[in-house]
């Protein structure tokens, strides 16, 4: 594990410990910090675009669709292997890391799968935080963005930009944005089948 991964994971664990022990009332402070982080990454992306060093690669536009198909296929395979409901498992996979949407959308159909949708998708985000930095040593940085799903537009964007560099930040943002647009339409379609 790289030094950066260890620092990120340590910061997460420290935050959990502080929250558990002291119950700080930070209100919307985390949300404000997230907006500042996204703004700063946007400034960096804009700077690289104005330098002409980055253009939107066609692969960046196709990656979210590959991610969605792969997530659904993986969830379907998991459902078959574990003997779970195919429809609900596919819906969980189609959440693409958007836990705050997936769980509540599935819950009216099945409380169990709503909870699974929430947990599986929050786990995807946490695994992205831990696995993205070491993963990019083995596979292309842009392809590794897919593990983050919809979170690559916001919560994992900073990590991806730091570990992968500014050249992959634009791909990550586009990837997360497209998935964030698609997921709210795809989940009800799957659940309506």
Please determine, for residue 137, whether its predicted confidence score (pLDDT) is greater than 90. Answer: yes
Please determine, for residue 55, whether its predicted confidence score (pLDDT) is greater than 80. Answer: no
Model pTM? 0.76
Please determine, for residue 155, whether its predicted confidence score (pLDDT) is greater than 80. Answer: yes
pLDDT digit string (tens) for 71-109? Answer: 999 999 999 999 999 999 999 999 999 888 899 999 999
**Can you give the residue range of the structural domain that contains 15?**
3-191
- Measured in Å, how far apart are the chain's first and last C-alpha atoms? 42
pLDDT digit string (tens) for 15-27? Answer: 878 877 887 777 6
What rounded mean pLDDT belongs to the chain?
86
Q: Which residue has the higher pLDDT, 1 or 40?
A: 40
Structural domain total, the chain: 1
Query: How many Cβ atoms sit within 10 Å of the Cβ of residue 108?
Result: 9
Helix axes 86-94, 111-135, angle to 10 degrees: 40
Please determine, for residue 184, whether its predicted confidence score (pLDDT) is greater than 80. Answer: yes
CA 143 vs CA 91, 104, 136: distances in Å: 23, 29, 9
Distance of alpha carbon 30 from alpha carbon 133, whole angstroms: 23
Q: What percent of the chain has pLDDT over 70?
A: 83
Residue keyed to tokens 């998991």: 78
Q: What is the pLDDT of residue 37?
A: 67
Residues 159-185 have a mean pLDDT of 90
Helix axes 86-94, 166-191, angle to 10 degrees: 150
Q: What is the pLDDT of residue 34?
A: 61
Residue keyed to tokens 């292997």: 81
């Amino acid at each position: 594990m790289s030094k950066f991964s260890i620092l990120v994971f340590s910061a997460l664990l420290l935050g959990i410990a502080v929250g558990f022990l002291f119950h700080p009332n930070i209100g919307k402070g985390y949300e404000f910090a997230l907006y500042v982080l996204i703004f700063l990454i946007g400034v960096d992306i804009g700077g690289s675009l104005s330098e002409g060093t980055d253009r939107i690669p066609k692969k960046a536009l196709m990656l979210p669709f590959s991610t969605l198909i792969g997530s659904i296929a993986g969830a379907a395979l998991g459902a078959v292997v574990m003997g779970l409901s195919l429809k609900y498992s596919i819906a969980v996979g189609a959440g693409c890391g958007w836990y705050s949407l997936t769980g509540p959308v599935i819950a009216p159909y099945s409380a169990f799968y709503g909870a699974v949708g929430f947990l599986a998708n929050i786990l995807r985000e946490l695994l992205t935080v831990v696995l993205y930095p070491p993963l990019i040593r083995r596979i292309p940085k842009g392809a590794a963005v897919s593990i983050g799903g919809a979170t690559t537009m916001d919560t994992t964007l900073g990590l991806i930009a730091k570990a992968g560099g500014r050249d992959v930040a634009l791909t990550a943002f586009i990837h997360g944005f497209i998935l964030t647009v698609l997921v709210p339409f795809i989940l009800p379609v799957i659940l309506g089948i």
